[in-house]
Amino acid sequence: MRAGEHLRDLRLTPPEIKRHKSPTVSLPQAVNIYKTLLAHQTAKGFGKPDDYVFFPEEKNRLRCLNTIGWLFNWIMNTLGIKAGPHGADRSFYSLRHTAITFRLIFGGNIDLLTLARNARTSVEMIEKFYASTLSAEMNISLLHSKRRA
């Protein structure tokens, strides 16, 4: 990021997973969070292009993921929301499910192919795992809307 550059979103290029290698794009709200984290990490001597955003001082990334998972579980337990509405425990991975489901509910006219590509998954997985809990009433305004020419 160059000085004075205004970002609308973040483009992330994680390692290739299951034949998915294209970048993903964040929501605009992630930009300010990233800028805050980057300033904090830069003040600690990190924040370089190849540094990790979270726990850049920790070279063992498995330990980092375990720490983040432990922190997530601690927060969920402390708030009394570790168990979801159907009794299953929430995991750090459940944040992905929430993000994709919220895009389906609140993402306006987003099509499944665009969402699937950005989430580095398939339309079939979106339909099978993420959209399976949705009802038509959740997006009734889309059912009533008309396409603009």
Note down pLDDT in tens along the chain; length 149 residues.
444 456 788 888 777 776 667 788 888 888 999 999 999 999 999 999 889 989 999 999 999 999 999 999 999 999 999 998 889 999 988 898 889 988 888 887 888 998 998 888 889 999 898 887 777 666 566 556 666 65
- Cβ burial of 130 (10 Å; 0-12, 13-18, 19+) is buried
Report the amino acid identity of residue 54: F
- Which distant-in-sequence residues (6+ apart) come within 8 Å of 143 by Cβ? 136
Q: What is the pTM of this model?
A: 0.71
Could you tell me which of 30, 9, 37 has the C-alpha nearest to residue 95? 30
All structural domains of the chain with their residue ranges:
7-49, 93-149
